[in-house]
Structure 1
Amino acid sequence: MSQFVSDVAFTPAVKAFQERRGSRPHYEKHDMRDRLSPDVAAFIAQRTSFYFATASAEGQPYIQHRGGPKGFLRVLDDRTLAFADYAGNHQYITIGNLSENARAYMFLMDYATRTRVKIWGRAEVVEDAATVAMLMPEGYRARPLQAVVFAISAIDFNCSSHIPQKFDADEVAGALAHLQSKIDMLEAELAAVKSAKEPS
């Protein structure tokens, strides 16, 4: 039985390396959350993508990108996340892995604020039509095949070191449109001043 939430990541082998490298005293006092706080729930609600890791029964890892409009990754309660799983390349590696190994992991990144959230847990594929329909974002053009319900075991944050700062295309387009509007206004004002100075 694990004593700490962080034991899901800090296995005996990991702790041994922490001891060897001198970081164990810091992480002995560090524990992870096992429930979503309002700030983390708000962070999740703003994500348009995340990476979803599973493994086969033999432990072969696999990471899949999942994306959609803001809110597509739904907070059901402070211990549960869920999302509609859309038709893709028909490889079915993720759901095949989950059929024999429920352990899963979510990696959520906000490049603009250089923030990342790591979530460990167990995931279940749900094919109930009502659940899939409830999780499908309204108006989003995708064909849902099933839903994935994720029970949270541990949540942790990383520092921002080495995360490049990037912005979504729609955010950049909005900022450029605002700047262009100001440029247009200033050019119009400049043209009016020049016109007023010209001799009649």
Structure 2
Amino acid sequence: MSDMVASEDELRSLYGTPSKLAVAKQIDRLDVHARRFIELSPFLVISSQGADGLGDVSPKGDAPGFVQVLDDRTLLIPDRPGNNRLDTLSNLTANDGVGLLFMVPGVCETLRVNGRARIVADGELLAPTAVRGRLPTAGILVAVEEVYLHCAKALVRSKLWEDDHRVDRRTLPSLAQIISDQVGGGFDVAEADARVEDSLKNRLY
């Protein structure tokens, strides 16, 4: 392909420069507005990168405010039970850089937070994140370096929060059926679906 963009100069020749506001909006701490956004947010995605250089993104979700703001430069994300692939946590043992994207249902702006992360298993530190008396096995402690709001265009274009754009889950096969198709079978789909359903009901925490 002859039209590949390979440098910052080439990129800027296509897009131009950002506005003064777009540059100035980036701050280095969690101010009152960022704290409020995180307090209202039940969902975020976290990006990480492994030693092989491949990037990864993973969703994290719970009740609004599940991410703890410890101070204006520190966040604590509880790591709830999952499938034990540990993609994000494994990446953090090799590369501590992370990017967070916080979302609030009904709000089309998003909050971006970038920083450095460590895995912590301190019961006292994790105690405020317990649910139903259950502590997470570990948490992700983020040292905040960059904070800024992202404009609403992507969510406005996607109509993400509009009810008439919701997709009926039955439009897609079940999770187990999709995986079976992708890997060529080898397991009982109905049994796997039942395990998934049980996990969603009984092993969220």
2-side partners of 1:155 and 1:147: how far apart?
20
Name the counterpart of 2:115.
121
- Which amino acid in structure 1 is aligned with residue 144 of structure 2? I
TM-score by length of 1: 0.69
Q: Distance in 2 between matches of 1:108 and 1:152?
A: 14
For residues 50-107 of structure 1, give each alpha carbon's deviation from its aligned partner in whole angstroms, at most 9, with x where no partner exists. 1011110222111111011122101111111112211111101111000110000101
Q: Calculate the TM-score normalised by the size of structure 2.
A: 0.67
**Aligned equivalent of 2:14:** 21
Which has the greater radius of gyration?
A: 1
Unaligned 5+ segments in structure 2 are: 1-5, 164-205
Match of 1:47 in 2: 41
1:159 equivalent in alignment to 2:159: no
1:142-177 residue CA offsets vs partner (Å, 9 max, x unmatched): 661101101111112222113125179xxxxxxxxx
Deviation at 1:16, TM superposition (A): 2.7
Partner of 2:95: 101
Q: Distance in 1 between matches of 2:90 and 2:109?
A: 31
1:58 and 2:52 aligned: yes
One-letter amino acid of the structure 2 residue matched with residue 76 of structure 1: L
Question: Secondary structure in 2 aligned to 1:162?
Answer: helix
Large movers: runs of 4+ above 2 Å = 15-19, 25-29
Instruction: Kindly provide the amino acid, as one letter, of the partner of residue 14 in structure 2.
Output: R
1:34 is paired with a residue of what secondary structure? coil
Partners of 2:32 and 2:112 in 1: how far apart? 16
Q: Return the alpha-carbon distance in structure 2 between the equivalents of residues 146 and 162 of structure 1.
A: 33
Q: RMSD between aligned alpha carbons?
A: 2.5
